[in-house]
Protein backbone atom coordinates (compact mmCIF):
# COMPACT_ATOMS: atom_id res chain seq x y z
CA UNK A 1 0.00 0.00 0.00
CA UNK A 2 1.91 3.01 -1.30
CA UNK A 3 0.83 6.64 -1.66
CA UNK A 4 -0.63 6.30 -5.21
CA UNK A 5 -2.64 3.22 -4.20
CA UNK A 6 -4.02 4.93 -1.10
CA UNK A 7 -5.01 7.98 -3.13
CA UNK A 8 -6.62 5.84 -5.84
CA UNK A 9 -8.61 3.77 -3.35
CA UNK A 10 -9.84 6.91 -1.60
CA UNK A 11 -10.87 8.42 -4.94
CA UNK A 12 -12.83 5.27 -5.83
CA UNK A 13 -14.59 5.27 -2.48
CA UNK A 14 -15.58 8.91 -2.80
CA UNK A 15 -16.79 8.44 -6.38
CA UNK A 16 -18.85 5.36 -5.55
CA UNK A 17 -20.35 7.04 -2.50
CA UNK A 18 -21.66 9.78 -4.81
CA UNK A 19 -23.14 7.23 -7.23
CA UNK A 20 -26.74 6.32 -6.35
CA UNK A 21 -26.41 3.14 -8.44
CA UNK A 22 -23.92 1.71 -5.94
CA UNK A 23 -25.69 -0.31 -3.24
CA UNK A 24 -22.56 -1.43 -1.40
CA UNK A 25 -18.83 -2.01 -1.74
CA UNK A 26 -16.64 -5.10 -1.60
CA UNK A 27 -12.95 -4.43 -0.97
CA UNK A 28 -10.58 -7.21 -1.99
CA UNK A 29 -7.10 -7.95 -3.27
CA UNK A 30 -5.89 -10.86 -5.35
CA UNK A 31 -6.59 -14.54 -4.78
CA UNK A 32 -3.21 -14.79 -3.02
CA UNK A 33 -3.09 -11.61 -0.96
CA UNK A 34 -5.65 -9.15 0.39
CA UNK A 35 -2.90 -6.69 1.33
CA UNK A 36 0.69 -6.95 2.54
CA UNK A 37 0.34 -3.64 4.36
CA UNK A 38 2.29 -0.42 3.93
CA UNK A 39 4.97 -0.33 1.23
CA UNK A 40 8.05 0.07 3.44
CA UNK A 41 10.22 0.45 0.35
CA UNK A 42 8.33 3.42 -1.09
CA UNK A 43 10.71 6.22 -2.11
CA UNK A 44 9.38 9.12 -0.02
CA UNK A 45 11.05 11.74 2.16
CA UNK A 46 10.27 12.48 5.81
CA UNK A 47 7.39 14.82 5.05
CA UNK A 48 6.03 12.29 2.55
CA UNK A 49 6.07 9.57 5.20
CA UNK A 50 4.00 11.74 7.53
CA UNK A 51 1.61 12.60 4.68
CA UNK A 52 1.22 8.90 3.87
CA UNK A 53 0.39 8.11 7.48
CA UNK A 54 -2.31 10.78 7.29
CA UNK A 55 -3.63 9.12 4.13
CA UNK A 56 -3.90 5.80 5.95
CA UNK A 57 -5.94 7.43 8.71
CA UNK A 58 -8.21 9.16 6.22
CA UNK A 59 -8.68 5.89 4.32
CA UNK A 60 -9.72 4.02 7.46
CA UNK A 61 -12.20 6.80 8.22
CA UNK A 62 -13.59 6.75 4.69
CA UNK A 63 -14.18 3.01 4.87
CA UNK A 64 -15.67 3.13 8.36
CA UNK A 65 -18.02 6.01 7.54
CA UNK A 66 -18.93 4.87 4.03
CA UNK A 67 -22.66 5.61 3.56
CA UNK A 68 -23.50 2.11 2.33
CA UNK A 69 -22.57 -1.44 3.41
CA UNK A 70 -18.92 -2.46 3.10
CA UNK A 71 -17.50 -5.98 3.07
CA UNK A 72 -13.86 -7.09 3.01
CA UNK A 73 -13.22 -10.23 0.95
CA UNK A 74 -9.99 -11.70 2.30
CA UNK A 75 -7.75 -14.37 0.78
CA UNK A 76 -4.10 -14.81 1.65
CA UNK A 77 -2.14 -12.23 3.64
CA UNK A 78 -4.04 -9.44 5.37
CA UNK A 79 -1.40 -7.45 7.18
CA UNK A 80 -1.00 -4.08 8.90
CA UNK A 81 -2.73 -1.31 7.00
CA UNK A 82 -4.62 -3.90 5.00
CA UNK A 83 -5.91 -5.52 8.20
CA UNK A 84 -6.96 -2.06 9.41
CA UNK A 85 -8.94 -1.50 6.20
CA UNK A 86 -10.61 -4.87 6.67
CA UNK A 87 -11.40 -4.01 10.30
CA UNK A 88 -12.98 -0.74 9.17
CA UNK A 89 -15.43 -2.60 6.90
CA UNK A 90 -18.85 -3.56 8.22
CA UNK A 91 -18.25 -7.29 7.67
CA UNK A 92 -15.38 -9.56 6.67
CA UNK A 93 -15.45 -12.77 4.62
CA UNK A 94 -12.36 -14.97 4.46
CA UNK A 95 -11.11 -18.15 2.84
CA UNK A 96 -8.99 -20.90 4.45
CA UNK A 97 -5.89 -19.20 3.03
CA UNK A 98 -6.52 -15.96 4.94
CA UNK A 99 -3.79 -14.92 7.39
CA UNK A 100 -4.31 -11.90 9.62
CA UNK A 101 -1.52 -9.93 11.29
CA UNK A 102 -1.28 -6.57 13.06
CA UNK A 103 2.51 -6.02 13.23
CA UNK A 104 2.48 -2.45 14.59
CA UNK A 105 4.05 -3.40 17.94
CA UNK A 106 7.16 -4.66 16.16
CA UNK A 107 7.76 -1.14 14.83
CA UNK A 108 6.49 0.76 17.85
CA UNK A 109 3.50 2.10 15.91
CA UNK A 110 0.37 2.97 17.98
CA UNK A 111 -2.09 1.31 15.60
CA UNK A 112 -4.96 -1.15 15.83
CA UNK A 113 -6.53 -0.19 19.14
CA UNK A 114 -9.49 1.78 17.78
CA UNK A 115 -11.39 -0.99 15.97
CA UNK A 116 -9.95 -4.40 16.78
CA UNK A 117 -11.21 -4.64 20.41
CA UNK A 118 -14.74 -3.98 19.16
CA UNK A 119 -14.47 -6.93 16.76
CA UNK A 120 -12.71 -9.58 18.85
CA UNK A 121 -12.87 -8.34 22.45
CA UNK A 122 -10.14 -6.81 24.59
CA UNK A 123 -8.32 -10.04 25.46
CA UNK A 124 -7.97 -11.21 21.86
CA UNK A 125 -7.09 -7.67 20.74
CA UNK A 126 -4.25 -7.50 23.26
CA UNK A 127 -3.03 -10.88 22.06
CA UNK A 128 -2.99 -9.85 18.40
CA UNK A 129 -1.67 -6.33 18.91
CA UNK A 130 0.94 -6.98 21.60
CA UNK A 131 2.40 -10.21 20.18
CA UNK A 132 2.02 -9.17 16.51
CA UNK A 133 1.52 -12.84 15.73
CA UNK A 134 -0.16 -14.21 12.61
CA UNK A 135 -3.52 -15.93 12.98
CA UNK A 136 -5.00 -18.24 10.37
CA UNK A 137 -8.51 -18.16 9.01
CA UNK A 138 -10.04 -20.62 11.47
CA UNK A 139 -8.73 -18.76 14.49
CA UNK A 140 -9.70 -15.39 13.03
CA UNK A 141 -13.21 -16.74 12.52
CA UNK A 142 -13.44 -18.09 16.06
CA UNK A 143 -12.24 -14.76 17.44
CA UNK A 144 -14.88 -12.89 15.49
CA UNK A 145 -12.60 -11.02 13.11
CA UNK A 146 -14.05 -12.96 10.18
CA UNK A 147 -17.85 -13.05 9.95
CA UNK A 148 -17.90 -15.80 7.33
CA UNK A 149 -15.40 -18.47 6.33
CA UNK A 150 -15.97 -19.85 2.83
CA UNK A 151 -14.23 -21.80 0.07
CA UNK A 152 -11.91 -19.87 -2.21
CA UNK A 153 -14.32 -19.97 -5.16
CA UNK A 154 -17.17 -18.61 -3.01
CA UNK A 155 -15.32 -15.58 -1.64
CA UNK A 156 -16.49 -12.76 -3.90
CA UNK A 157 -19.98 -14.20 -4.30
CA UNK A 158 -20.52 -14.43 -0.54
CA UNK A 159 -19.06 -10.96 0.06
CA UNK A 160 -21.29 -9.44 -2.62
CA UNK A 161 -24.30 -11.30 -1.27
CA UNK A 162 -23.72 -9.93 2.22
CA UNK A 163 -23.47 -6.40 0.85
CA UNK A 164 -26.74 -6.88 -1.05
CA UNK A 165 -28.53 -8.33 1.99
CA UNK A 166 -27.47 -5.37 4.12
CA UNK A 167 -28.33 -2.88 1.40
CA UNK A 168 -31.83 -4.35 1.11
CA UNK A 169 -32.58 -3.45 4.72
CA UNK A 170 -33.68 0.17 4.92
CA UNK A 171 -32.43 0.54 8.48
CA UNK A 172 -29.01 -1.05 8.04
CA UNK A 173 -27.05 2.20 7.80
CA UNK A 174 -29.03 3.71 10.68
CA UNK A 175 -28.04 0.67 12.73
CA UNK A 176 -24.43 1.03 11.62
CA UNK A 177 -24.28 4.65 12.79
CA UNK A 178 -26.05 3.84 16.06
CA UNK A 179 -23.62 1.01 16.80
CA UNK A 180 -20.62 3.19 16.03
CA UNK A 181 -21.89 5.93 18.34
CA UNK A 182 -22.80 3.47 21.09
CA UNK A 183 -19.29 1.99 21.06
CA UNK A 184 -17.57 5.37 20.79
CA UNK A 185 -15.85 4.38 17.55
CA UNK A 186 -15.57 7.88 15.97
CA UNK A 187 -13.76 9.26 19.02
CA UNK A 188 -11.57 6.16 19.34
CA UNK A 189 -10.57 6.32 15.67
CA UNK A 190 -9.82 10.06 15.85
CA UNK A 191 -7.60 9.52 18.90
CA UNK A 192 -5.71 6.72 17.14
CA UNK A 193 -5.17 8.86 14.05
CA UNK A 194 -3.75 11.67 16.18
CA UNK A 195 -1.41 9.23 17.88
CA UNK A 196 -0.28 7.79 14.54
CA UNK A 197 0.50 11.22 13.10
CA UNK A 198 2.36 12.27 16.24
CA UNK A 199 4.39 9.04 16.22
CA UNK A 200 5.26 9.38 12.52
CA UNK A 201 6.30 13.03 12.89
CA UNK A 202 8.47 12.22 15.90
CA UNK A 203 9.98 9.18 14.16
CA UNK A 204 10.92 11.30 11.17
CA UNK A 205 12.33 14.12 13.30
CA UNK A 206 9.71 16.66 12.26
CA UNK A 207 8.70 17.50 15.82
CA UNK A 208 10.78 18.95 18.60
> Which domain, by its residues, includes 97?
3-153+169-203
- Residue 77, domain member (yes or no): yes
Predicted pLDDT at 140: 98
- Residue 208, domain member (yes or no): no
**CATH code of 198's domain:** 3.90.226.10
pTM: 0.90
Long-range contacts of 191-198 (CB under 8 A, 24+ apart): 191/114, 192/57, 192/110, 192/111, 192/113, 192/114, 193/54, 193/57, 193/60, 193/61, 195/110, 196/53, 196/56, 196/57, 196/109, 196/110, 196/111, 197/50, 197/53, 197/54, 197/57
Predicted pLDDT at 53: 82
pLDDT in tens, 96-115: 999 999 999 998 887 888 99
Mean pLDDT of 150-158: 97
Q: How many independent structural domains does the chain possess?
A: 1
Mean pLDDT of 188-204: 78
Predicted pLDDT at 204: 66
Amino acid sequence: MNTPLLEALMAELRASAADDAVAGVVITGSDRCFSAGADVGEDIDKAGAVARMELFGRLYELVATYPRPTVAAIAGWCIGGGAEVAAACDLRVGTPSASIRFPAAVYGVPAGSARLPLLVGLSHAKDLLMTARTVGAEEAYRMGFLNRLVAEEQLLGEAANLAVVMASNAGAITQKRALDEATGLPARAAAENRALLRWQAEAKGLMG
